[in-house]
Amino acid sequence: MRVVIAEDHALLRDGLTRILQAFDFEVVAVVGRGPDVLPALLDHKPDVAVLDVRLPPTFTDEGLQAANEVRRRAPGLPILVLSQHVEPLYARELLSDRRGGVGYLLKDRVSDVAQFIDAVRQVAGGGTVMDPEVVAQLLDRSRPLDVLTPREREVLGEMAAGRSNAAIASRLFVTEKAVSKHINNIFTKLGLPPSEDDNRRVLAVLAYLDS
């Protein structure tokens, strides 16, 4: 799989490159400045891009701007955005085209290499991966979620993080059947149309949380 990386810190850039290469990703371009991101993505049309939010020269949100712009110009190009902090506001912007193939994670998550690689693959495959922190922040303030049981909220968080039923089941030490029952309950309680597609499911939940 071909990857473009945008990250300005040399240490992190090398670390990311090394990790991705170790898992047989082909790193086709590494850029360190905001204005270089868009051309690199449009030129290489990678299978997935890993972008840092804050890049030179202004050190604001160039990476995110580039991500939003490239999604306009090359719809559906899978992008995983990394940051030192997560904001539901940014998540909302990334998800606004409702196409999937989007990830938004804290940089800390890279240290769990297996899970990080899993997330990259999921995004490349058109899935949606949100950092648990985003989900936690949204869960924390959404009032209607009071109707959910603690277990259901837990499942909801796992689901928004882009995990499949099987993955959720193994993480929560329950059967897959129990998970799908919880998920059905969640969808019923929140009044969302049921869906089998993992990605649609995540988007529906996030859209709901963000409303």
Partner 1 sequence: MRGVETRDWLRDGLRAVGSGLLSIVLAILNIPLFVLFVVSLVLTPVLGLGLAAVPAVTALIRARAELARRLATRSGVSIARPYRPRPERMAPIGWRRYKWIITDPATWRDFAWLLPGAISGLVLGILTLALPAYGIEGIVLLPLWLYLGTDWYGYGVIWPIGSVAEGFLSLPQGIVFLALGLAVAPYVPKVEFLFARLFLAPTRAAELRLRVTQLTVTRADTVDAQAAELRRIERDLHDGAQARLVSLGMTIGLAEELVERDPRAARKLLAEARETSSTALVELRHLVRGIHPPVLAERGLDGAVRALALTVRIPTTIDSDLTGRLETPVESAAYFAIAEALTNVQRHSGATVAYVSIHRVGEALRIEVGDDGHGGADAARGTGLVGMERRLAAFDGTMTVSSPPGGPTIVTMELPCVLSSPRTMLSSGTD
Member of 13, 54, 182, 201 binding partner 1 (CB under 8 A)? 54
| Choice between 26 and 112, CB closer to partner 1 | 112
Q: Using the rule CB under 8 A, is 108 a contact of partner 1?
A: yes
Quick one: CA dihedral 111, 113, 114, 118, positive or negative? Answer: positive
Q: Which of 88, 100, 101, 103 binds partner 1 (CB under 8 A)?
A: 88
**Contact status: 115 vs partner 1 (CB under 8 A):** no
Cβ at position 139, least distance to partner 1 in Å: 11
Q: Is the peptide bond before 57 cis (omega within 30 degrees of 0)?
A: yes
Residues 56-75 that bind partner 1 (CB under 8 A): 59-61, 64
Distance in Å, CB of 174 to partner 1, minimum: 24
Establish if 143 lies at the interface with partner 1 (CB under 8 A).
Answer: yes
Minimum gap (Å) between residue 113 Cβ and partner 1:
9
Q: How far apart are CA 49 and CA 5, in angstroms?
A: 6
Output 111 or 175, the one with its CB closest to partner 1: 111
Q: Is 141 in the site for partner 1 (CB under 8 A)?
A: yes
User: Closest distance between partner 1 and the C-beta of residue 48, in Å?
Assistant: 23
Q: Which listed range, 11-19, 26-34, 83-91, 123-131, lies at the site for partner 1 (CB under 8 A)?
A: 83-91
- Binding flag, residue 92, partner 1 (CB under 8 A): yes
- Sequence letter at residue 200: R
Question: Which residue number, 72 or 141, has a Cβ lying nearer to partner 1?
Answer: 141
Q: Is 27 helix (H, G, I), strand (E, B) or coil?
A: strand
Question: Is the four-CA dihedral 180, 82, 31, 76 of positive or negative sign?
Answer: positive
Q: Which is nearer to partner 1, 58 or 184 (CB)?
A: 58
Which residue matches tokens 């701007």? 65
Q: Which is nearer to partner 1, 29 or 209 (CB)?
A: 209
CB of 69 to partner 1, least distance (A): 16
Yes or no: say if 60 and 53 are a contact pair by the CB < 8 Å rule.
no
Structure tokens at 189: 């309680």
Q: Is residue 87 a contact point for partner 1 (CB under 8 A)?
A: yes
Nearest to 129 by CA among 183, 79, 77: 79
CA dihedral 163, 180, 92, 32 (to 10 degrees): 10
What is the spatial distance between Cα 149 and Cα 109, in angstroms, rounded to a whole number? Answer: 27
Question: CB 197: neighbour CB atoms within 10 A?
Answer: 12
